[in-house]
A and B are shown apart, each in its own frame.
Chain A
Amino acid sequence: MKRLEMGTALAALWMASAAGAEQQPLADRPAVVRGDAARDAVTLPKVREVVLKNGARLLLVERHDVPLVAFSARVRGGALGDPLGKEGVAALTAELLRKGAGARNASQFADTVDGVGGALSVSPGRESLDIQGQFMARDTALMVELLADMLLRPRFELAELEKTRERMVSSLVAEKDGDPRGVIGLYFQAFHFGEHPYARPTGGSEASLATLQREDVLAYAKAHLGGDRLILTVVGDFDAKQLAARLEAALGGWARASTPVPVAPPTQPTQGRRVLLVDKPDATQTYFWLGNTGISRTDPARVEVGLANTVLGGRFTSLLNTALRVKSGLTYGAGSVVLTPLQPGPFAVSSYTKTESTAQALDMTLDVLSRFRQQGVDAAMLASAQEYVLGQFPPTLETGTQISAKWSELAFYGLDASDVDDYAKRVSQVEPARLLAAIQRVVPAPEDLTLVLVGKAADIREVARKYGPVTEMRITDPSFAPPRAAPSP
């Protein structure tokens, strides 16, 4: 492939969700970009919203273009509800929701979903458990039944729990044998956020998963699953009034969770530099992330930060990809990602290069960062980034699955449709000075950086020391956090 989509997918995810709400009104200023993009701006279809007595929020959108129904459920809490040392309990609980619920054991549940050609997935997130599904419209009633069984009547059978836990451990090990791009972000967050809950792996680690018992899962479910935690959006080929009644009957009896929603304390950018070196002795390439704390999903400057990320590392002609790939051939890809949870998450640059050119690629990356923070973006580059962001936005809201996920996301973060509907206008009105201010506030400063390198330590240990005090661990260590020890000299 010309390039893989991984880095850009994250960036696009962010850009797709980047619209402003709290900025100064700018409606009377002239738009910088052509009128086409603004004219072709997409808006979210309206929802019918129902709030149940237990606090569950239902958002329904009728669409009749294809005979499908998609839903996106978010249950607040997520891995933030994991007790210390029990990382992964939310993820294990989430996995088990599909492993037997209501009248069906795990095998019958799978037969039922697959038998009608349904799709049903559970993603344990940092701050919510997310369940997504898509069924043929003819199976809408079955879909509601399965969802209600999962949420209200999970079985959490011991045998399924043990199997699932074992498989989660093995999968983490297998991922470490695979492409390091799949795991490097976990090491980065663990090292960067230190004692903060954002450091903890949402899927757990080999060490923490091994300790989990059925009572841990039951305790998590009692504390963190409940009607008051639910946001559910359904989009597709149905009658909204009928479906609302059906959902109310199915979910209205779900008790409230027994504890308040866990909230992460604020995060801050860190000062100075430090390096984590993860030894993968067979690697012929060094994979790296470097970055710092960025912004939250509701940051007032999120449109500007989205544009800044586009220019720096969010598209093929970005500054990073141009320097490290197009002009020097050091790598197959270089980019940047902005993850935006409820508190500011990481803003990180990522790339990889053959072991021998590790220092060259890192120096070049730091150079690009420095220049970007000093110089910002010129008028032509800003116009290009605006056009790009605007042009790529409409295809992110094509399908029922995309629209249901978007509505649930907005509701989760306390945002409304204007986040999408005013997006084109907001993007068009960004000006260089405001963009530069956002860049200098949010883009990591080269002197204040967390660096994570995954590669052959024997060959890059000395290189790593150039960039700050080094902490080392091995890829085979059963945790993503380094052992608590003083940095090596």
Chain B
Amino acid sequence: MRRQKCFIASLMLLAGTAACAQGRAATVPAGAKTASAAATAAAQVRTRTLKNGLKVIVWPVPANPSVALYDWFRVGSRNERPGITGLSHFFEHMMFNGAKKYGPGEFDRVMEAHGGRNNAYTSEDVTVYQDWFPRSALETIFDLEADRLGHLAIDPKVVESERGVVYSERRSSVDNDNSGLLMEQVQATAFVAHPYQIPVIGWPADIESWKQEDLERYFRTYYAPNNATLIVVGAVTPEQVFALAEKYLEPIPSQPEPEPVRTQEPVQQGERRVTVRKLAQAPLLQMAFHGLRARDDDAPALDLLMRLLSDGDSSRLHRRLVEEERVAIQVTGYVGAGFDPSLSWLLVDLPPGGDLAKAEALLDEELAKVRTAGVTDAELRKAKNIVVADFWRHLETNDGRARALGTFEVFHGDWKKLFGAPERYEAVTREQVRQVAIKVFGQNNRTVGVLVPETDAGEAKQEAAR
């Protein structure tokens, strides 16, 4: 799904956030400040792994009387197969629909009555539950989370109703949104073997046919404490959180490790193309390249490259396609970064009547330039500066801190890497950026998708005949 992709992309951007320590450090005190502030923050974080395998990470931040809680499960559309596509996302919904102590609707009702709010999202790799609440609600939140993790009820009547909700979500984000529709087709074309081919929201026929036993098996397999990581940030103490986690969550038994995803996507041997024809006013062009996994050493270089290609009005692609040649109204870049090598995206929105061939040729030209001539010192410095400013922007809120810690713990294997990111980004060289451009942005490694507008002339005739 498009928005979920955006979200994951932003996490990756965050993963790329912390450059600055050296750079202009001689004249710019912020560099030293970044390093020392990051060290101070890192010293405040505490962790504990419960007997059932659940890892709990706490960052006490007393400034604001609120708390952000993120519960990460290592399950997403990557763990699905034909017939049960979309099930991870559906389960994200079902986790709000009743357990033993708190029946259908009670999770939300009780949380909101205590001043809390929640949401959740699913990606190809993970399903993440988020609670934002005043510190006074802390124990209630643990009680609620423990109930649904330990004793979820999967009532067939509720399943039917929620199916309608999810189908409505699909209509909004895919079927009735041209960009979402094209992205789904491009992603499904880019992978031939790996389950990253599956759209997170699921294929329509599967949404209509999940079975009760599919749900029950999925819950047992993936919603186990040993498959999860809990992050709590805000007006709490680690002792308080550990005590509540032991009281409420430790009794939930662990489960056997889920089957690993073994399939690796074979190396792409040449370009793939997909065309969507649809009623529309404006055409769309999208390119998806097989990229990297989150923990690849080259990930910071790819992130920096994508920023100087597509981030801001000074970026190469915006300048060339939007400002100079005026073939596009917007160019957006996302770096996917999951457990397995993920897609890096370039999305080009064209004006009505826009020239798809010309937009593609210009995009090709810019990508070829970066592969052969690389990038400038000024561009790399700029990308690193954007990254450090974003680092601080994310760490301004409890929510941002919780996301950042979780991202590094789950995708990079260690939350501490969040605070080491400045050095990793600062160390990237121009040559590394050029090498990653060669590796990722090659023509044989890409899937090109176009949405070609069809007019509604046929419809108009029918209307006139009415």
Partners in one complex: yes
Cβ contact within 8 Å between B93 and A117: no
A326 interface residue, CB < 8 Å from B? Answer: yes
B66 partner residues in chain A, CB cutoff 8 A:
391, 394-395
Question: Which residues on the B side are within 8 Å of A281 (C-beta)?
Answer: 279, 456, 459
Interface code B329-369, partner A: CB below 8 Å = 1, 0 otherwise?
Answer: 11000000000000000000111101000000000000000
Q: A170-B351, A383-B113, A476-B281 are in contact. Are A179 and B172 (CB under 8 A)?
A: yes
Q: Which of B174-182, B206-214, B246-254, B259-267 is the interface stretch?
A: B174-182
- In the complex, what's the smallest C-beta–C-beta distance from A108 to chain B, in angstroms? 9
Interface assignment of A111: CB less than 8 Å from any CB of chain B: yes
Residue from A34, A284, A399 in contact with B175 in the complex, judged by beta carbons closer than 8 Å: A284
Indicate if A255 sits at the interface (CB-CB under 8 A): no
Q: Are A391 and B64 in contact (CB under 8 A)?
A: no
Within 8 A of B (CB), among A13-54: 34, 36-37, 40, 42
B114 contacts A179, C-beta separation under 8 Å: no
Quote the shortest CB–CB distance from A245 to chain B (angstroms). Answer: 21
CB neighbours (8 Å) of B28 from chain A are 138
Quick one: given A388-B115, A395-B399, are A117 and B459 in contact (CB under 8 Å)? Answer: no
From residue A320, how far is it (CB to closest CB) to chain B in Å?
14
**Which chain B positions have C-beta within 8 A of A353?**
168
One digit per residue, 1 when the CB lies within 8 angstroms of any chain B CB and 0 when it does not, for chain A 304-323 equals 00000000000111000010
Q: B329 contacts A332, CB within 8 Å?
A: no
Could you mark each residue 124-138 of chain A with 1 if its beta carbon is under 8 Å from any beta carbon of chain B, else 0?
A: 000000000011111
Q: How far is the CB of B92 from chain A (nearest CB, A)?
A: 6
Beta-carbon contact of B280 and A384 below 8 Å: no
Of B51-59, B386-394, B436-444, the one contacting chain A is B386-394
Tell yes or no: B413 within 8 A of A by CB. no
Q: How far is the CA of A256 from the CA of B162 in the complex (A)?
A: 58
Q: Is B378 an interface residue (CB 8 A)?
A: yes
Q: Which residues of chain A come closer than 8 Å to B319, judged between CB atoms?
A: 107, 110
With the chains together, A166 CA to B112 CA distance in Å?
A: 45
Q: Is the CB of A179 within 8 A of B312?
A: no
In-complex Cβ contact of A329 among B34, B108, B160, B466 (8 A): B160
By the criterion of a CB under 8 Å from any partner CB, how many residues of chain B are at the interface? 97
Q: Smallest distance from the beta carbon of B192 to chain A beta carbons, Å?
A: 28
Tell whether, in the assembled complex, residue B117 and residue A316 are in contact, meaning their CB atoms are under 8 Å apart.
Answer: yes
Q: Closest approach, in angstroms, between the C-beta of B147 and any C-beta of chain A? A: 17
Contact with B along A162-182 (1 / 0, CB 8 A): 010011011101101111110
Q: Which of A61-69, A86-94, A217-225, A414-422 contacts B (4 or more CB under 8 A)?
A: A61-69
Q: Which residues of B contact A329 (CB under 8 A)?
A: 160-165, 168
- Given the known A-B contacts A68-B392, A391-B114, are A354 and B136 also in contact in the complex, defined by CB atoms under 8 Å? no
CB distance from A459 to the nearest CB of B (A): 12
Complex alpha-carbon distance, A282 and B393, angstroms: 40
Does A115 reach chain B (CB closer than 8 Å)? yes
Establish whether residues A110 and B314, one from each chain, have CB atoms under 8 Å apart when the complex forms.
yes
Assembly CA distance A457 to B312 (angstroms): 39
Is A327 close to B, CB under 8 A? yes
B160 contact set on A, CB distance < 8 A: 329
CB distance from B451 to the nearest CB of A (A): 9
Q: A181-B172, A395-B64 are in contact. Are A66 and B117 (CB under 8 A)?
A: no
Q: How far is the CA of A284 from the CA of B92 in the complex (A)?
A: 24
> Is B385 in contact with chain A by the CB < 8 A criterion?
yes
Q: Which of A114, A136, A179 contacts B382 (CB 8 A)?
A: A114
Q: Mark A387-402, 1 if CB is under 8 A from B, else 0.
A: 1101110110111110
C-alpha spacing A68/B33, complex, angstroms: 11
**Can you report 22 residue pairs joining A to B where beta carbons are below 8 Å apart?**
A4-B3, A40-B136, A42-B64, A66-B37, A106-B313, A115-B314, A115-B382, A117-B387, A135-B389, A136-B389, A167-B322, A174-B281, A174-B330, A281-B459, A282-B176, A329-B160, A384-B109, A384-B112, A390-B115, A395-B397, A399-B397, A458-B459
List A residues at the B interface (Cβ < 8 Å). Answer: 1-5, 34, 36-37, 40, 42, 65-68, 98, 106-107, 110-111, 113-119, 134-138, 163, 166-167, 169-171, 173-174, 176-181, 281-285, 315-317, 322, 325-332, 352-354, 383-384, 387-388, 390-392, 394-395, 397-401, 457-458, 476
Query: 15 additional contacts, CB 8 Å, given A2-B92, A177-B281?
Result: A1-B120, A2-B121, A66-B395, A68-B396, A110-B314, A117-B386, A170-B329, A171-B329, A174-B282, A174-B329, A178-B179, A285-B171, A328-B164, A395-B132, A398-B396
Which 3 A-B pairs give the minimum distances between C-beta atoms? Answer: A391-B115, A329-B164, A117-B389
